[in-house]
Structure 1
Amino acid sequence: MTAFWFAALAVLLAGPVPALLARARWTWRVPRAALVLWQAVALGAVLATLGAGLASLTMLFTEEPGLPFLERRGWVQTTLIGLGSAFVTVVTVRFWVVAAHVAVRTRRRRRRHRELVDLLHRTESHGALDAALLREAGVRVLSGPGRIAYCLPGVRANRVVLSDGVIEQLSPAEVRAVLAHERAHLRARHDLVLEAFTALHAAFPRIVSSRAALDTVRLLVEMLADDAARRTEGSAPLARALVQLASAPGERTEGETAVGADALTRVRRLADGCGEDDRTPPHRRLSAALYTAAGLVLAGPTLTVALPWLRLTWRALGR
């Protein structure tokens, strides 16, 4: 039965739980704690999948001595256990293969993209703001009327990319807010969080995988960057910049953290004053509740399912 409970938990954490959690709007008030909960749910789904496979396999080798497993369990149960073990093995191998593929493809694409923006970077200044931006390390300015702002993460070669349209059509305060937003993404390495959820979504079968997890995590990392930017530049310049960038027709980049994404939701949140810079007791209590829930998601199955299974397995192997 241990394998069944592990499998049920994996399906629950991969599909229904993310779908329900994605509908919650109160998580926007504490995006950091909410992101930790989302990561715990994702990790719990992976660990439960591994546990289901291991539990199924150990049933074949840790039964009491006597008749063969097939004679004790029968064809139906033996076939189901075998199919379940094979399915979990395929999903596990697929996850690591997909994760490696996503990591290699993403880094290759970013490297080419970084080389391209370095090549197209405009070095001559057209004004005081231009000159200040061009002196900043890691900032690249591309010629063109379109409003583009995004970041390219890397271990030693981060880039914040802006277009002429952003510099010319946004005020200096709004440009600084955009820079603060993108640099918050780079400091926190939000790209690694998104990469993990992208691999998880691609690896799990579509019948149990929820797109809500990936979409909600993308929104939460944007909100985290918004909170960092408004602490230094204020809410109003950032909100105006979001509106300007979101209204640019047809401007979409390969950057995972384009600043104009989900602009309407984020502008409303800024206007409502939600965020982790509001150090009120309700926010602290909500954060504590989400951190506790994240711990329970990971520790609960381990204590209630995995430890008894490990104890029985150890006893069987010790005979």
Structure 2
Amino acid sequence: MSALAFAIVALLLSGPVPAMLARATWPLRAPRAAIVLWQAIALAAVLSAFSAGIAIASRLFEPGADGRPTATFASSIAMLGWPLWTAYVVVFVLTLVIGARLIVSVLRVAIATRRRRAHHRMVVDLVGSHRRRPRSRGGLRILDVAEPLAYCLPGVRSRVVVSEGALNTLSANEVSAILEHENAHLRARHDLVLEMFTAVHAAFPRFVRSAHALNAVRLLIELLADDAAVRAEGPTPLARALVACASGRAPRGALAAGGPTTVVRVRRLGGEPNSRILAAGAYAAAAAVLVVPTVAFALPWLNELHRLFLA
């Protein structure tokens, strides 16, 4: 039953639950807590998938006369029957595949992203002019581009990049707002949060994964950066700057100020403020997502496994 329960929880947390949360509007008023909830769901889904595989593996080893597990396939098949034994083996192999894909995905995303950023950082250092401003981490790189554009390249050697078009189009406080937006990404290392969800998304097979979590987190980290810019310059300068830079395209691996979520973000700036009540509820839900499956399924199974191996 533990294996079945873990498998059901993993499927729910990788499909229906993210789909329902992605349709909700309350995360717009509690972006930080919503990110924590998304992280809890992703972590619980991965842990549940692994726990299902481990629980199934323990069932494949029937206890011998001394109470210790034995690796005799014949006895496992005799106890479970061919259909159930085959299903257990398939799920266990699938769990191993997901684990391997997760490790490979984390390494692949991290290496590829850092290579792209390093290459683009070299390009903007060569062709862009350097300028230092207050609160600008590592200074600015100004590109001679007529289109309004602003983005950041996170990392140890981070860069904030804006175009001449943005500087010529935006007023002083609008420029400050857009720079504070990008610096907020760099300070909080929002790129690492995005990398984790990208790796988890790539690790799960196509028939069980969805893009809801990845797309939602992309929006939420932009909302957090928007909130930092609002605290520094107010909502109106930021809204004008976002509209001006909405069509600007940033390289892969960068975090751009504009993009397809601009309309949602600008509307949010004129809507209701963030809610501490919603944030508290989201934090409580995140804790429940991690704690309840562990208490309900994992502890009884771990106790049984401990008894089995120490018998």
TM-score of the two chains, using structure 2 as the length reference? 0.93
Post-superposition offset of 1:64: 5.5
User: Which residue in 1 is equivalent to 2:95?
Assistant: 88
Q: Which moved more, 1:222-231 or 1:252-261?
A: 252-261
1:260-306 CA-to-partner distances (Å, cap 9, x unmatched) read 1211000000011433xxxxxxx222111110100010111110000
8 Å contact kept, 1:64–1:316:
no
User: Which residue in 2 is equivalent to 1:231?
Assistant: 231
Paired residue secondary structure (1:179): helix
Post-superposition offset of 1:62: 5.1
Question: Are 1:310 and 2:309 matched, yes or no?
Answer: no
Paired residue secondary structure (1:92): helix
Post-superposition offset of 1:121: 1.4
The count of corresponding residues between Structure 1 and Structure 2 is 302
Counterpart pick for 1:74 among 47, 62, 81: 81
8 Å contact kept, 2:138–2:158:
no
Moved over 3 A (4+): 62-67, 130-133
User: Which residue in 2 is equivalent to 1:272?
Assistant: 271
8 Å contact kept, 1:28–1:274:
no
> 1: distance between equivalents of 2:297 and 2:153?
42
> 2: distance between equivalents of 1:255 and 1:68?
52
> 1: distance between equivalents of 2:84 and 2:7?
16
Give the CA RMSD over aligned residues. 1.8
Paired residue secondary structure (1:61): coil
> 2: distance between equivalents of 1:296 and 1:268?
32
Percent sequence identity over matched residues? 50
Post-superposition offset of 1:35: 0.6
Post-superposition offset of 1:203: 1.0
> 2: distance between equivalents of 1:178 and 1:31?
19
Paired residue secondary structure (2:294): helix
8 Å contact kept, 2:137–2:158:
no
Gaps of 5+ in 1: 124-129, 276-282
The aligned runs of 1:233-272 (5 Å cut-off) are 233-248=233-248, 251-261=249-259, 262-272=261-271
Q: Which moved more, 1:29-38 or 1:52-61?
A: 52-61
Paired residue secondary structure (1:36): helix
TM-score of the two chains, using structure 1 as the length reference? 0.90
> 2: distance between equivalents of 1:298 and 1:76?
32
Post-superposition offset of 1:318: 1.6
User: Which residue in 1 is equivalent to 2:71?
Assistant: none
* 136 and 75 in structure 1: CA distance in 2 versus 1, 3 angstrom threshold: closer
Letter in 2 for 1:103: A
Post-superposition offset of 1:69: 1.5
User: Which residue in 2 is equivalent to 1:165?
Assistant: 165
8 Å contact kept, 2:177–2:233:
yes
User: Which residue in 2 is equivalent to 1:153?
Assistant: 154
User: Which residue in 1 is equivalent to 2:105?
Assistant: 98
